[in-house]
């Protein structure tokens, strides 16, 4: 048993010596390798960058991928060591390759609440535009979008949203207020949800009693919506 252990120990020692020897051989070869100048491979396609470096006895190592608006996809964005550096042949130059312009697919936000749609677009680095609003069943819900879902868009591109302003108020008919006392006319309009924005007093000769409606805008019978505004002309003494 002891003899077996001695044999195993010698075997491990032999392997260690062999490994150490190989390390020194490789180190010696690298140290004795000629020095070469690193070429500029930025902007080149990957295959051309490999060829340029290989021609000088230099390896290429891809270290990362990034989006770039200036450098096309699969071209070198930057390198290290920099062009002009002096290194030993056989060493590697690390490069970062372009993934091209960052793009995202337009999401489908129709039927989504306006705030949620804005957040979803912002998370994709897109610019939501929410100026247009039209009547709809529920207020604040996206009814339409300017970009077809699935369209590839660049960073910052805009997506216009058509948003519901809520149910459309029913049309009313402007009542005939001519000859009514101003107070009663105001009361009638208020009951209909119509606001009076201006009351103008007018002096007229004749038998017209003071404080009665002489004219109105909109005219009697005109279609108006709730919360519409009206103007009245009232007789004065």
Lowest mean pLDDT among 30-39, 74-83, 113-122, 177-186: 30-39
* Whether residue 218 has a cis bond before it, omega within 30° of 0: yes
Shared-domain flag, residues 49 and 85: yes
- Contact at 8 Å (CB) between 112 and 142? yes
pTM of the model: 0.48
Q: What is the pLDDT of residue 92?
A: 96
Shared-domain flag, residues 7 and 94: yes
Shared-domain flag, residues 12 and 33: yes
Indicate the Cα dihedral angle 33, 39, 43, 48, nearest 10°: -60
* Whether residue 13 has a cis bond before it, omega within 30° of 0: no
Shared-domain flag, residues 148 and 75: no
As given in the structure block, the two tokens for residue 24 are 């020194």
Shared-domain flag, residues 88 and 37: yes
Shared-domain flag, residues 111 and 152: yes
Q: What is the pLDDT of residue 130?
A: 85
For residues 203-214, average pLDDT: 75
Instruction: Tell me the CATH number at 159.
Output: 3.30.10.20
Domain boundary among 98, 130, 146: 98
Domain boundary among 98, 118, 144: 98
| Total domain count, the chain | 3
Q: Which domain holds residue 143?
A: 103-164
Shared-domain flag, residues 231 and 188: yes
Q: pLDDT above 70 covers what percent of the chain?
A: 84
- Whole-angstrom CA distances from 236 to 144, 155, 210, 211, 218 are 53, 65, 5, 6, 21
Shared-domain flag, residues 137 and 190: no
Shared-domain flag, residues 60 and 78: yes
Under the banding of pLDDT at 50, 70 and 90, the label for residue 30 is: very low
């Amino acid at each position: 048993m002891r003899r077996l252990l001695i044999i195993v120990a010698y075997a491990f020692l032999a392997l260690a010596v062999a490994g150490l020897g190989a390390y020194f051989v490789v180190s010696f070869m690298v140290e004795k390798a000629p020095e070469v100048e690193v070429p500029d491979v930025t902007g080149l396609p990957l295959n051309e960058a490999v060829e340029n470096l290989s021609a000088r006895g230099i390896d290429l190592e891809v270290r990362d991928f990034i989006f770039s608006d200036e450098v096309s996809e699969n071209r070198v964005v930057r390198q290290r060591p920099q062009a002009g550096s002096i290194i030993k042949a056989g060493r590697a130059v690390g490069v970062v390759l372009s993934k091209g312009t960052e793009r995202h697919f337009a999401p489908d936000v129709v039927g989504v609440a306006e705030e949620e749609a804005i957040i979803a677009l912002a998370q994709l680095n897109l610019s939501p535009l929410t100026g247009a609003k039209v009547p709809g069943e529920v207020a604040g819900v996206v009814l339409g979008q300017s970009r077809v879902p699935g369209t590839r868009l660049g960073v910052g591109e805009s997506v216009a949203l058509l948003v519901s302003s809520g149910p459309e108020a029913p049309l009313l008919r402007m009542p005939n207020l001519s000859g009514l006392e101003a107070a009663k006319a105001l009361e009638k309009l208020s009951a209909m949800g119509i606001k009076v924005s201006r009351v103008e007093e007018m002096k007229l000769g004749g038998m017209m009693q003071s404080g009665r409606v002489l004219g109105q805008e909109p005219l009697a019978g005109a279609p108006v919506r709730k919360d519409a505004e009206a103007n009245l002309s009232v007789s004065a003494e």
